[in-house]
């Protein structure tokens, strides 16, 4: 009898222990985010992107509880880094984001979570002496990095002035080689952006033929993150968006120090940066609230996304369909402080 009771107690004890362990093992994880990690953020020497250096140097990332590893590269390399998952976020244009998602090379899904700046003249077509209008580019050699946003601006210009790429010889040797060819007078025009505009204008007699100012809102830069990172680390994405808005506010309160940091990161002198200042418009929270709304001009990101997508399809620059509605995520911008 005692043996039987002992066996019953032992069995009950084992059952209780099993239930306790099972509850611990099967207990649902109520956290919506995995443990924080070092966040790799790509940026480049476009002054609007170089702003991220301020966030790093002035402790703005730390203020927003982020451990950020800023990774500097040229613009195209940054695009590739995000596309291949080598960074979690990057500073890049809306056009390039849609272009990448629509090509066969797409590896990582990407999401726009904030508008950082507009190019209002910072992207330019620089031409050789004697060329006074875009019509005179017929039969000439024009260097442009095909596929990226400056190519988009150039195609918009050709469309506006009733020209086609076939009317001229397009040269694509890469950003720096293109400028070198222009300086060596082997080509007649080059499409580039700040800070490389200054280098191209070192060719005697060269001049700016047209700029992104002719196409307001068509070239916008953004904080873009991978969808996987957004879904697994939403608090860090929120911290990044908050950091951008905090940095824009810091710049407004500390213009001199901010200009020194941006100029250094961009490879520009302070004088050059001041000269180009009006050609790059940084965007804070209030501008973002407006930009993410539906509208009928390029100042509306939903409108711009659709028009860029249609342009890419029309010119057969992409091979895949893109769900435009999923590219923009205004949640973090709206939840920012």
In the chain, the percentage of residues whose pLDDT exceeds 70 is 88
Helices of type H across the chain: 2-26, 47-50, 52-57, 60-63, 75-83, 94-101, 149-160, 175-183, 196-200, 227-232, 234-253, 255-266, 270-276, 285-291, 301-314, 331-334
Q: How far apart are CA 36 and CA 65, in angstroms?
A: 9
Using the predicted structure, report yes or no on whether residue 229 has a pLDDT greater than 60.
yes
Taking CA 45 as the corner, what is the angle to CA 127 and CA 154, rounded to the nearest 5 degrees?
Answer: 35
pLDDT of residue 105 exceeding 80, the answer is no
The mean per-residue pLDDT over the stretch 214-242 comes to 96
What's the pTM? 0.84
- The residue with tokens 């979570």 is 113
| φ/ψ of residue 281, rounded to 5 | -110, 110
Q: Compute the distance between CA of residue 310 and CA of residue 100 in angstroms, rounded to an integer.
A: 14
DSSP lists the bridge partners of residue 170 as 142
| Mean pLDDT calculated for residue range 240-268 | 97
Q: If you average pLDDT over residues 233-253, what whole number do you get?
A: 98
Q: What is the mean pLDDT of residues 14-33?
A: 36
**CB 220, CB 93: distance < 8 Å:** yes
Residue whose pair of structure tokens reads 């950091």 in the numeric block: 243
Decide if pLDDT at 10 tops 60. no
Confidence of residue 36 (pLDDT cuts 50, 70, 90): low
Q: How many CA atoms lie within 13 A of 102 on its CB side?
A: 27
Would you list the DSSP string of 79-143?
Answer: HHHHHTTSSSEEEEEHHHHHHHHTSTT--S-EEEEEEEEEESS-EEEEE-TT--SGGGGTT-EEE
Average pLDDT over residues 230-234: 97
The answer, yes or no, to whether residue 25 has pLDDT greater than 50, is no
Write the CA distances from 317 to 96, 147, 152, integer angstroms. 11, 7, 10
Residue for token digits 């951008």? 244
Please classify residue 180 by burial: count the beta carbons closer than 10 Å to its beta carbon, then call 0-12 exposed, 13-18 middle and 19+ buried: middle
Q: What is the pLDDT of residue 191?
A: 97
Lowest pLDDT segment from 106-115, 152-161, 162-171, 326-335: 106-115
Q: What is the pLDDT of residue 37?
A: 79
**Domains of the chain, earliest start first:** 39-118+218-335 (3.40.190.10), 123-214 (3.40.190.10)
Residue 17 has pLDDT above 60, yes or no: no
> What local confidence, expressed as pLDDT, does residue 319 receive?
87
Taking 90 as the threshold, does the pLDDT of residue 307 lie above it? yes
At 168-192, the pLDDT tens digits run 999 999 999 999 999 999 999 999 9
**What pLDDT sits at residue 277?**
84
Neighbouring CB atoms inside 10 A of 203's CB total: 18
pLDDT, residue 276, reads 87
What's the pLDDT score for residue 337?
Answer: 75
Question: Would you tell me how many other CB atoms lie within 10 Å of the CB of residue 20?
Answer: 10
DSSP 8-state symbol, 224: E
Residue 188 CA to residue 169 CA, distance in Å, equals: 10
pLDDT in tens, 46-97: 999 999 999 999 999 999 999 999 999 999 999 999 999 999 999 999 999 9
Average pLDDT over residues 288-314: 95
Question: Does the pLDDT value for residue 15 go beyond 50?
Answer: no
Computed over its alpha carbons, how large is the radius of gyration of the chain? 25
CB 320 within 8 A of CB 106: yes
**pLDDT tens digit sequence for 124-161:** 999 999 999 999 999 999 999 988 899 999 999 999 99
Q: What is the pLDDT, as a whole number, of residue 322?
A: 92
- Six token digits for residue 268: 């520009």
Please count the other Cβ atoms lying within 10 Å of the Cβ belonging to residue 307. 16
């Amino acid at each position: 009898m005692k043996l039987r009771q002992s066996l019953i107690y032992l069995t009950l004890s084992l059952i209780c222990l099993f239930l306790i362990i099972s509850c611990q093992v099967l207990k649902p994880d109520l956290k919506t985010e995995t443990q924080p990690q070092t966040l790799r953020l790509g940026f480049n020497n476009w002054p609007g992107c170089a702003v991220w250096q301020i966030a790093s140097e002035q402790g703005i990332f730390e203020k927003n509880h982020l451990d950020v590893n800023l990774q500097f590269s040229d613009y195209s390399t940054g695009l590739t880094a995000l596309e291949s998952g080598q960074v979690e976020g990057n500073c890049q244009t809306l056009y390039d984001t849609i272009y990448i998602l629509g090509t066969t090379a797409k590896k990582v899904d990407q999401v726009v979570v904030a508008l950082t700046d507009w190019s209002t003249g910072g992207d330019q077509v620089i031409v050789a002496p004697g060329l006074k209008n875009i019509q005179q580019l017929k039969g000439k050699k024009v260097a442009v990095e095909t596929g990226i946003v400056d190519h988009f601006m150039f195609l918009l210009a050709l469309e506006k002035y009733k020209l086609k790429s076939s009317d001229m010889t397009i040269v694509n040797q890469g950003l720096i080689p293109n400028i070198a060819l222009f300086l060596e007078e082997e080509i007649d025009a080059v499409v580039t952006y700040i800070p490389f505009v200054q280098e191209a204008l070192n060719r005697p007699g060269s001049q700016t033929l047209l700029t992104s100012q002719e196409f307001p809102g068509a070239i916008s830069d953004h904080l873009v993150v991978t969808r996987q990172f957004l879904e697994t680390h939403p608090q860090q994405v929120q911290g990044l968006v908050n950091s951008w808005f905090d940095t824009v506010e810091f710049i407004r309160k500390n213009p001199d120090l901010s200009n020194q940091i941006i100029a250094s990161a961009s490879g520009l002198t302070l004088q050059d940066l001041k000269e180009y200042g009006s050609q790059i418009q940084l965007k804070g929270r209030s501008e973002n609230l407006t930009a993410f709304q539906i509208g009928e001009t390029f100042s509306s990101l939903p409108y711009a996304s659709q028009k860029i997508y249609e342009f890419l399809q029309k010119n057969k620059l992409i091979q895949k369909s893109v769900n435009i509605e999923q590219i923009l995520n205004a949640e973090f911008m709206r939840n920012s402080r």
